[in-house]
Structure 1
């Protein structure tokens, strides 16, 4: 993978519309709504994770990009929520407001040492690990801590999007 990831804290109406649009036969309706959300580009309610989402998910789960692994609530930060697209080319992952609160709490409890320990144990398929990449990953975890805390306080759902 390695494409650019973005988290959006969506309104109740946006969340309802997204959930109502889910269709295992076609992603068109969900992708149309995602396009609307992206076009708004509400800086106050989004967080870009660039390419760091890959390392973050791996560190918060079992070291892989498997969507089914890891422990709640940390696994909900990137890929562990409800998947709203089924084509495999574009991922839209939904996290409900109550789960957002749990993710925020769990992220805020993470230490740099804990994440660094997980990072250096990532399997070879992650690619080249180095100090610069770890610091980049840790910086983005900090951004996600603030983002999830803000979304939790506002009672918002979160969606994570990334294309392959």
Structure 2
């Protein structure tokens, strides 16, 4: 599964939350598809490819449990409000985005590496070596910068993995 974060506009946020409140996964999927198709490269999206999995594990308890870990680190990828039943579509409010952005700034490479090395889950599909960590760290730094931009713009964020 490939992961992407979007800093969404207010009208997109309202539409997604309305569909999510109704439990209408089909509408959430359609809205998300429209967001993906109309997106421009304006710095308000980040593609973490497959690294989202390791990033979430490092920021939580080593698993991909969306309820694992401690806020706000736990909300950088899978933590937050889930809007779809079949695949991750995770919503963070603008306030949560600011909290995540602030906390991600304090993550150092040595800390993330120690968390990466501690992943002990047979379901983790990465190589779990130096190259895999470099890939994870590169994606993490892009995610940090994305959250800073999203927070500065006052936007909510959607994470999806398909």
Matched-pair contact (CA < 8 Å) for 2:63–2:121 = no
Is there any run of 5+ residues in structure 2 with no aligned partner, and where? Answer: none
- 1:13-52 map, 5 Å: 13-22=11-20, 23-24=22-23, 26-44=24-42, 45-52=44-51
Residue 69 of structure 1: how far off its partner (Å): 0.6
1:48-106 per-position Cα deviation (integer Å, ceiling 9, x unaligned):
0000000000000110010111000011111001000013xx21000000000010011
1:13-67 per-position Cα deviation (integer Å, ceiling 9, x unaligned):
110110001133x411100100100001222111000000000000001100101
Residues matched between the structures, number: 158
Q: Which sits farther off after the overlay, 119-128 or 72-81?
A: 119-128
Structure 1 length normalisation: TM-score? 0.93
Residue 124 of structure 1: how far off its partner (Å): 3.4
Aligned residue number for residue 101 of structure 1: 98
In structure 1, C-alpha distance between the alignment counterparts of 2:93 and 2:16, rounded to whole Å: 12
Structure 2 length normalisation: TM-score? 0.95
Matched-pair contact (CA < 8 Å) for 2:53–2:64 = yes
Q: Quote the RMSD (CA, aligned, Å).
A: 0.9
Matched-pair contact (CA < 8 Å) for 2:62–2:121 = no
In structure 1, C-alpha distance between the alignment counterparts of 2:144 and 2:77, rounded to whole Å: 12
In structure 2, C-alpha distance between the alignment counterparts of 1:42 and 1:13, rounded to whole Å: 16
In structure 2, C-alpha distance between the alignment counterparts of 1:144 and 1:59, rounded to whole Å: 13
Aligned residue number for residue 2 of structure 2: 4
Q: Which sits farther off after the overlay, 93-102 or 121-130?
A: 121-130
Aligned residue number for residue 69 of structure 2: 70
In structure 1, C-alpha distance between the alignment counterparts of 2:31 and 2:154, rounded to whole Å: 20
Is there any run of 5+ residues in structure 1 with no aligned partner, and where? Answer: none
Q: Which sits farther off after the overlay, 45-54 or 122-131?
A: 122-131
Aligned residue number for residue 138 of structure 1: 137
